[in-house]
Amino acid sequence: QHNLHLLTPQQIELAKILLETGQTHLFEHWAEPGVEDDEKKAFFDQVARLDSSYPGGLASYIKTARELLSDSKAGKNPFDGFTPSVPKGEVLTYGDNNFINFEDMGVKEARKAAFVLVAGGLGERLGYNGIKVALPAETTAGTLFLQNYIESILALQDASCRLAQDDCQTKIPLVIMTSDDTHARTIELLESNSYFGMEPTQVKLLKQEKVACLDDNDARLAVDLRNKYRIQVSVITLTLKPHDDCQTKIPLVIMTSDDTHARTIELLESNSYFGMEPTQVKLLKQEKVACLDDNDARLAVDLRNRYRIQTKPHGHGDVHALLFSSGILKVWHDAGLRWVLFFQDTNGLLFKAIPAALGVSATRQYHVNSLAVPRKAKEAIGGITKLTHADGRTMVINVEYNQLDPLLRATGNPNGDVNCETGYSPFPGNINQLIFELGPYIDELTKTGGAIKEFVNPKYKDASKTSFKSSTRLECMMQDYPKTLPPSARVGFTVMDAWLAYAPVKNNPEDAAKVPKGNPYHSATSGEMAIYRANSLILRKVGVQVADPVVQVFNGQEVEVWPRITWKPKWGLTFAEIKRKVCGSSTISQRSTMVIKGRNVFLEDLSVDGALLIDAVDDAEVKVRGSVQNKGWTLENIDYKDASVPEELRIRGFKINKIEQLEKNYCESGNFTLEP
Ligand code: UGB
C-alpha cells in the first residue's frame, strides 16, 4: 500500500491482478518507499513479461495452476474414462515403391513447407555445457546438428525447385524457438558460420519466456530466493588494446556484459550489422566483480532477488502460441505455404525421413501427421496411442512414457507396457517430428491463441501432498496440440524404421551405460554410430556391398561400428537421388571412411578399403571408380572423465585418428574421373 503512489497505472493493474489472485506474500518483504526502487521497478517489468507472454495472462496461469494442482493432489488420472488401444497409421519400408512414391510427393510439396526447430531446452539429461544444436552430429565430417538441419532444408529446397515447372525462387523458411538459455548462443552459432549457407532472412528466432514457479497447492508464486547464495556483483571497466594486423577491414570489438550482451547481438543482427561485415565485429563479454559491504571488504550477499518471481521453462508446447502471436503463420499462408514441420534439436537422421513423411501428409491430407518409430517397451519416448472415451470420443495422441505404463495397467493390462512378438511395444514411439497443414492449424490457433493443454508435476514432500520439495510450474508439450481438435480433424501418423529416422542425443555417458540391454542409449555415442549405420544400410539398399559392422564398447556402451560413411544432404536426400549416384558393383570395407561433400559425385565400380574424401563444386561432375587402399582413419577410445579432451568428444567415448586418406577437391566446373 505504502508504495502505491510510486506506481504507474499499468503497474497498479498488475499489482491488482497479483492481489486478486492471492499473491500478497510477494510484497511482504518490500522495503519502505524510496528504498530499492529500481528493484521494485524490475519486479513489475518481470510481472508484465510473465503476464503478456502467457495466453490469457498471469490470472489465467494461476487459475489453471490451481485446477491442475488440485487434480494432482486428488490423484486424478488425466486419462480418466479413456481406454488405450493401438492406432492404425501409415507404416513405411525404406526403399520400396510405396516409400519412393511418398518421397517424390514430399519433395514436390517441400517448396510449400516451413520448418520449425524447437531448441529452447538446455538438455539437462545430456549434461553438455553448450547448446545442443552446436554439437557435432558426427565427428568424421564434423557436421554440427544445426548445420545438418540447414543443409538438409537447402537440399530439399533445391530438389523441390528442380521439379517445379516454373522459375522457382523458393526459400524455405526456418524458425528456431530459443529460450533465455539458448538464444544468444544460437545467434552466435549461426552468425559465425554464415548461417550454414542459408540466407539470413530465411531464418527467424522466436524466444520463449519461462513461466512463474509455484510454491504450494494454492499456486502461490515462488519468490526467487536462490540468490541469497550469491555474492552481489557490479560492473568494472576494462581497457582493450586496438587490433593492428588488419589493413582492409577495420575490426570493431564491442565489450558487453550480462546486461547488454544478448540485446547487442539482437541489435546488430536485426540491422544486418549496419553494413559492416559480421566477421569484422567481435563481442567480448566482461564479467562483474564482487560488491563490498564494509571497510573490512566483506563481500555483499545478493538479496535483490526477493523482488523476483522464480521462473522455469514451460516446455516445447510454447511454440504454437509463439508462432501465432508473431504473425508469421499468416505471412506464410499469404505466401502460399501449406505445411509446417516441427522438429527437435539432436536427431541426426531426421531428414532422411522428412520427404516421405511430407508425402504421406499430402497424399492422406493429414491435418496433423506425427512421425513415429517402433519403440521398445518403457523406452523414454512417448507412445502414439488411440484413446477411446466411455462417451464415444476418440483421439490419436502421444502418451508420455511415464504415463503409458500406468494407463495400461489401470485399463485391464496387468503387465503394462510390454514388448509384443515383434520385440517392440505395440505402441509406436513418438519422435516429435510433427507435420501440420497450415490452413487448419491457423484456424485452430485463431480459436485457442496457441494455448496447449498443460500439466503439472509437483514433487511432494510426503504422502499428505500438502507441500512440495521445491517449487513447480505448469508445463506443456507441442505434440499435445491435437487435444483440442474436433473429431473431424484428420490426425494420422507415419511409422518409419528407427535406423532411418531416429537417433537423438539426450543421455550423458553414465546414464546411457545404465540403459537396459537392447534399448537404445540415446547418447552422443549411439547418435553418431546411428548415422554411419543408416548411411551404410542406405548404400546397401542401392546396391553397394557394405561390410558388416563390428561391436565395440565406448563409454560403457556396446555399439555396432559400421564403416564411417557420411555425405552432404545435397549429394542425396532421397532414395531415388542416392540410387542415381551409384552404379556398377562397389564395395566398402568395415574399417573404411568415406566422406562425400560434392553434389555430383558418382560412385562406379568402386572399392574402398581405407579413407576416401571427395569435395566438388556443384557444377563439377566427378566419377569415382577403381580401388582406394590406404591406412585410413581409426577410432581411439577415450574416457568421458578425461578432462584434457574437449567435452564434445568426451561424451562420445572415442576420437578419430586420421592416419592416411585419399582426399580430392574439385574446385572448377567440368567432368572428371577419379581412378586411384
Ligand atoms: N524444448 C524447448 O524448445 N523448450 C522447452 O521448454 C523444452 C524443450 P527434450 P522431452 O523424441 O525423444 C520429447 O527434453 O520433452 C525443446 C517428447 O515429449 O529433448 O523429454 C528441446 O530443445 C517425447 O514424447 O525431450 O521428450 C528439444 O529440442 C519424445 O518424443 C525438444 O524440445 C521425445 O521428445 C525436446 O526436449 C523424443
Q: How far is CA 362 from CA 62, 214, 489, in A?
A: 40, 43, 15
- Which atom in ligand 1 lies closest to the alpha carbon of residue 432? 30
Given a cut of 70, is residue 227 above it in pLDDT? no
**Nearest to residue 442, comparing CAs of 365, 328, 362, 564?**
328
CA dist., res. 117 & res. 186, Å (int): 12
CA dist., res. 330 & res. 113, Å (int): 14
| Cα 195 to ligand 1 centroid, rounded to whole Å | 24
133 SS3 class: helix
The pLDDT tens digits for 39-82 are 888 899 999 999 998 988 999 999 999 999 999 999 888 888 99
CA dist., res. 229 & res. 15, Å (int): 28
Centre a 10 Å sphere on the Cβ of residue 104 and count the other Cβ atoms it contains.
Answer: 17
Q: How many Cα atoms are found within 13 Å in the side-chain-facing hemisphere of 447?
A: 9
Given a cut of 60, is residue 332 above it in pLDDT? yes
Q: Quick one: which H or E segment has residue 595?
A: strand 593-596
- Which atom in ligand 1 lies closest to the alpha carbon of residue 182? 22
Given a cut of 80, is residue 410 above it in pLDDT? yes
| Cα 208 to ligand 1 centroid, rounded to whole Å | 14
Per-residue confidence band for 239, with pLDDT thresholds at 50, 70 and 90: very low
pTM of the model: 0.88
Per-residue confidence band for 237, with pLDDT thresholds at 50, 70 and 90: very low
Q: What is the pLDDT of the chain when averaged over all its residues? A: 91
Per-residue confidence band for 94, with pLDDT thresholds at 50, 70 and 90: very high
Residues with CB under 6 A from ligand 1: 118-121, 177, 179, 208, 313-316, 344-345, 381-382, 398, 400, 430-432, 477, 479, 504, 506
The pLDDT tens digits for 141-157 are 999 999 999 999 999 99
* Sequence-ordered list of residues with C-beta below 8 angstroms from that of 141, at least 6 positions apart, any chain: 566, 595, 597
**Nearest to residue 395, comparing CAs of 406, 405, 404, 384?**
384
Given a cut of 60, is residue 138 above it in pLDDT? yes
- Which atom in ligand 1 lies closest to the alpha carbon of residue 344? 28
The pLDDT tens digits for 279-295 are 888 888 776 666 556 66
The pLDDT tens digits for 476-511 are 999 999 999 988 899 999 999 999 999 999 999 999
Per-residue confidence band for 233, with pLDDT thresholds at 50, 70 and 90: low
| Cα 146 to ligand 1 centroid, rounded to whole Å | 16
CA dist., res. 520 & res. 536, Å (int): 19
CB 220 within 8 A of CB 22: yes
Residue located via cell numbers 509384443: 420
238 SS3 class: coil
CA dist., res. 147 & res. 153, Å (int): 10
